[in-house]
Structure formats: structure tokens, C-alpha cells
Amino acid sequence: MSASAPLVRAVLALGSNLGEREDTLSSAVAELTAPDSVRLLRSSPVVATKPVGGPGGQPDFLNMVIEVETSLDPYALLAHCHSVEHSHQRVREVRWGARTLDVDIITYGDLVNDDETLTVPHPRAAQRAFVLHPWRLMDPAATLGGVAVAELAEQAADMADIRELAGPPETD
């Protein structure tokens, strides 16, 4: 990491419901944290979830959350996340449709930002157990908007559909 750039902790949510989902998550974590500008601090177990929103008939997702430390500004981190999605043949045709890989920035330090390119904290994270539950498993003391992530997870409509599978995927 660059000595001159400030380091910021960010929480990223990863999901996949097409292809070799476990392999995709594992290689995505490795790719996301490959540059010197992004360092993996910790990762959650993988959970299986029903799709939330979007068209019906989609396969179940595998989801996980990672915490990174980065010297990238939030827009550069977003571009990096999109690049990793692209390397896994992510196609954006239907909102909330099936996908090989989805990487969302949930938090970026204490930044609050809302523009056409990037909204952090993620605008729907506080209602999504597929983000909140793995996050609380990774960091039981985590908060989002001043509320315990564990409390938010219990209130999320999709909490009943979460199935815990395994620990963090192996990275290359």
C-alpha cells in the first residue's frame, strides 16, 4: 500500500448464483485483494440464500462479506470491484437478475455519499439478511448507521431463507 494515501476500511458484499459459485467467490476474493492497494482483513463464512427481488426462477445465491483496508478512493474501489465482476463475465441486463458475480461496497470508512455513481452506505444493506448475517458472523460487533448489524439481520425479511454452508473460501 502506498505510504502517502490514507488507509480506509471498507466492507464488500459478494454474491453469485450462476456457474461455479464457490469457485467464483474464492477467486473474486483473491482478485479483489491482489493489488497492493487492497488488503484483506477478514472474511465471513459463505451462506446460501434465496434471490431477493428481481425476476422469479433464479437459482439460489451464495453470499459472503469481506472487510478490506484500501488506499483506493471510493470511486477507484468501485471501478476495481466492477473490473473483478467483469473478469467473471458479469452481465448487467436485468436489474437484480441472475449473475455470475456481484460485488457491492457496503461501507467505505465513515463516508456517507449518494450520487448517480456510488451510494454508501449501501442503500439497501440494512434490510438484506444475505449481507447482514454473514457480516455479523465475520464481525459480531459491527454496526451500520449506528445500529448493530446482528439486530438488523434479525429484522430482515429474508433472514429465514439463510443457510450457513462453510467458512471463508480458500484464496489462491
pLDDT digits (tens, 9 = 90+) for 60-78: 999 999 999 999 999 999 9
- CA 108 to chain CA centroid, Å, is 12
Indicate whether 172 pLDDT > 60.
Answer: no
pLDDT digits (tens, 9 = 90+) for 43-52: 999 999 988 7
Q: For residue 93, what pLDDT band results from cuts at 50, 70 and 90?
A: low
Looking at residue 90, what is its pLDDT?
62
Task: Please check the confidence at residue 127 and state whether its pLDDT lies above 50.
Answer: yes
The reported pLDDT for the residue numbered 131 is: 96
Question: Dmax over Cα atoms in the chain, in whole Å?
Answer: 48
Span 77-98, average pLDDT:
79
Per-residue model confidence (pLDDT) at position 92: 58
Q: What is the pLDDT of residues 3-26, one digit of tens each?
A: 567 899 999 999 999 999 999 999
3-class secondary-structure state, position 29: helix
The more confident residue out of 166 and 151 is 151
Give me the pLDDT at residue 89, please: 74
d(CA 23, CA 168): 12
Q: Nearest 5°: CA angle at 24, between 115 and 39?
A: 60
- List, for residues 144-158, the tens digit of each pLDDT value: 999 999 999 999 999
- Whether residue 50 contacts residue 3, with contact meaning beta carbons closer than 8 Å, is answered with no
94 pLDDT exceeds 70? no
What's residue 39's pLDDT?
97
CATH of domain 8-163: 3.30.70.560
> How many angstroms separate the CA atoms of 137 and 11, rounded?
13
Residue type, 124: R
Query: According to the model, what pLDDT value does residue 137 have?
Result: 96
129-154 residues labelled b (16+ CB within 10 A) or e (exposed) = bbbbbbbbbbbeebebeeeebbebbe
Cα three-residue angle 116-143-72, rounded to 5 degrees:
45
Q: What per-residue confidence (pLDDT) applies to 165?
A: 83
Which residue, among 44, 48, 68, has the nearest Cα to 58 in the 3D structure?
A: 48
Residues forming the active site: 90, 99, 102, 104
